[in-house]
Structure 1
Amino acid sequence: MPINIPAELPALEELLSENIFAMNDARATSQNIRPMQIGILNLMPNKIETELQILRLLSNTPLQINIDLIRFDETAPKNTPASHMQAFYHLFSQVKNKKYDGLIVTGAPLGTLDYEDVHYWPQMCELMDWAKHNVQSTFYICWAAHAAMYHYFGAQKSLLDGKLSGVFNHKVQDEQNELMRGFDPEFWAPHSRVAQVNRSTYASISGLEILAESEQAGVYAAATTDKRLVFVTGHPEYDTATLEQEFARDTQSGLLPQVPSNYFKNDVPEHGIMVRWKSHGNLLFTNWLNYYVYQTTPYDLTQLT
């Protein structure tokens, strides 16, 4: 079954060119099934790029999915046309009366700020409280994972000595957990962040399980035992060139960034990129949709509590 997205969304043409089964909303209305309702709160600066990355991962499933792109306010982002935001995004205030099978909250380049200094932190807290009762399972990525750990459990982050950027080896800690089903015992995943939450903090929280971690990058995936909250500190959605683009941007800004680890062949940018995370990124989202969302959500979403 396909992912259902608006006919005019730029990501649709790209997905179809990749032979990904996507259909527009007009065709979807003729399908006599109950599609999954998935919200995406996109906090990344380049909205269109992130939309495509997330939608590509959500499309690898036999389930039909309806997507709502969500934002907090009408502030125009620097890297996305205002017309795009007006055409395709819903204000959170407009959708918070709905219930969702799943919600994805992306990362954001806010790691150096205290949470309370983020200008939309009150709205973020409202959304996280709302999601506990109106979403079956919420998938928090990178900065959002740390923010949610802080909001729900009081987990403090600490700034790293430098930016953690690259593709790192991880080990599965619970192969029986359905989110890790089909994973190799060791796998690679991208990270791009400046802060971390200590492993001991995750381990101290009752009802929270560490599912995968890295010696270099720390805890990668954790989830509550009721499957309602998923925390992923890396970026399984990243495209081939995303870390390269971030490295070039930081270099041009005079930040003197370190070359992303284990990303370029021989760690030399001119030697090309080693892509070795995409299959597990797809598997992670497929497992979440199937086992944490579809297998647990009520058919009648009004019954969700």
Structure 2
Amino acid sequence: MPINIPKSLPAGEILRKEKIFVMEEDRAQTQQIRPLNILVCNLMPEKEKTELQLLRLLGNTPLQTNVTFLNTATYLSKNVSKSHLDTFYKTFNEIKHRRFDGMIITGAPVERMEFEDVHYWNEITEIMDWAKINVTSCMYICWGAQAALYHHFGIGKFELPKKCSGIYSHVITDLTVDLVRGFSDEYVAPHSRHTSVSIEDVRNCPELRLLSFSEEAGPFIIQSKDTKHIMITGHLEYDATTLADEYKRDVEKGEPVELPVNYFPNNDPNKTPKNTWRAHSHLLFYNWLNYYVYQETPYDWHFVDDMIEFHI
């Protein structure tokens, strides 16, 4: 089934060429079906690249999905045009009256800052608190995962001696959990961050379940036991060349970065890396949408509102 996107969204043409089933909004409105409504709070600087990465994964399931992009009102991104934001993005005030079946909060280039020092921290915490009632299941990626762990569960982050960048091997702690259904016993995934969270803190939190970790990169897939919060500390959504682009960007800035590990063929940055994590990326998003969004979300949110009023 398709993802429903605005007619002129730049990612749409690329997705069609990749044979991702895309349906424009006007056609979607004629379909006699209850699509899933997914809110994407996109905090990444290169928003159009992130849009494409996430839409590619959201569009590869049997479920029809409406996607709404959310931008912060308290901070204006410098790497995307205002016209793009005005055309394709909403602010929290414009959507907070709605209910959503799922929400994704992306990573952000602010991980070295204290959470409270981030320009839009108050806005993000307001969104996360609102989502407790108005969203069935939330997925948080990289900094978004650290923000959720800190805000919801009191688990802080710490700065690493050097950037964790590359492709790392991970294991699953419990293959019977629906989120990792179909995963291999061992698989690889990209990480790109200067900070991390303590695996002991995650394991010791009674509200959390550690589903996957890396001996080198630390905790990776973390789920709240009520299944409403799913924290992914890495970037399964990344394209094959995303880490290469980040590495070259940092080199040009003169930052003391090392080659991403297990990434470039023969550790040669002039060679094109391969995507060795694509299958598990699609599987993770498929499992999330199917087991934690589609099978859990109310068909009619108005019925939920009526039940809440009845019990009150």
The TM-score by the shorter chain falls in which range?
A: over 0.9
The yes-or-no answer on 1:182 pairing with 2:185 is no
The yes-or-no answer on 1:163 pairing with 2:160 is no
Task: Give the structure 2 partner of residue 113 of structure 1.
Answer: 113
Q: How far off is 1:153 after superposition?
A: 1.1
Task: Give the structure 1 partner of residue 269 of structure 2.
Answer: 269
The yes-or-no answer on 1:98 pairing with 2:98 is yes
Deviations 1:124-169 (A, max 9, x none): 1101111111100000000010011000111111100011000100
Instruction: State how far apart, in whole Å, the 2-side matches of 1:239 and 1:117 are.
Output: 30
Q: Percent identity between the aligned chains?
A: 47
Instruction: State how far apart, in whole Å, the 2-side matches of 1:26 and 1:138 are.
Output: 27
**Aligned residue type for 2:139:** F
Task: Give the structure 2 partner of residue 138 of structure 1.
Answer: 138
The yes-or-no answer on 1:249 pairing with 2:259 is no
Contact 1:101-1:301 at 8 Å conserved across structures: no
TM-score, with structure 1 as normaliser: 0.98
Task: Give the structure 1 partner of residue 206 of structure 2.
Answer: 206
Instruction: State how far apart, in whole Å, the 1-side matches of 2:43 and 2:159 are.
Output: 20
Deviations 1:158-200 (A, max 9, x none): 1000110001000011100000001000011000001111011
Q: Aligned Cα RMSD in Å?
A: 1.1
| Unmatched tracts of structure 2, length 5 or more | none
| Unmatched tracts of structure 1, length 5 or more | none
Instruction: State how far apart, in whole Å, the 1-side matches of 2:96 and 2:205 are.
Output: 28
Task: Give the structure 2 partner of residue 259 of structure 1.
Answer: 259
Contact 2:37-2:65 at 8 Å conserved across structures: yes
**Aligned residue type for 2:298:** P
Q: How far off is 1:75 after superposition?
A: 4.6
Task: Give the structure 2 partner of residue 290 of structure 1.
Answer: 290
Query: What secondary structure, in the 3-state scheme, does the structure 2 residue paired with 1:270 have?
Result: coil
TM-score, with structure 2 as normaliser: 0.96
Instruction: State how far apart, in whole Å, the 2-side matches of 1:243 and 1:75 are.
Output: 25
Q: How far off is 1:224 after superposition?
A: 1.2
Q: Which runs of 4+ in 1 moved over 6 A?
A: none
Change in Cα spacing, 1:78 to 1:31, as seen in structure 2 (3 Å) is same
Task: Give the structure 2 partner of residue 147 of structure 1.
Answer: 147
Q: How far off is 1:301 after superposition?
A: 2.0
Instruction: State how far apart, in whole Å, the 2-side matches of 1:76 and 1:222 are.
Output: 30
Contact 2:179-2:287 at 8 Å conserved across structures: yes
**Aligned residue type for 1:91:** T
Instruction: State how far apart, in whole Å, the 1-side matches of 2:219 and 2:248 are.
Output: 27
Contact 2:165-2:190 at 8 Å conserved across structures: yes
Q: For residues 47-58 of structure 1, what are the structure 2 equivalents within 5 Å?
A: 47-58=47-58
Q: For residues 13-32 of structure 1, what are the structure 2 equivalents within 5 Å?
A: 13-32=13-32
The yes-or-no answer on 1:193 pairing with 2:193 is yes
Aligned length: 305
Instruction: State how far apart, in whole Å, the 2-side matches of 1:264 and 1:118 are.
Output: 33
**Aligned residue type for 1:27:** R
Instruction: State how far apart, in whole Å, the 2-side matches of 1:13 and 1:301 are.
Output: 33
Q: How far off is 1:74 after superposition?
A: 7.0
**Aligned residue type for 1:38:** I
Query: What secondary structure, in the 3-state scheme, does the structure 2 residue paired with 1:271 have?
Result: coil
Query: What secondary structure, in the 3-state scheme, does the structure 1 residue paired with 2:293 have?
Result: helix
Instruction: State how far apart, in whole Å, the 1-side matches of 2:206 and 2:128 are.
Output: 19
Deviations 1:78-131 (A, max 9, x none): 211110000000011110111100000000011110000001011011011111
Contact 2:38-2:102 at 8 Å conserved across structures: yes
Instruction: State how far apart, in whole Å, the 2-side matches of 1:112 and 1:167 are.
Output: 21
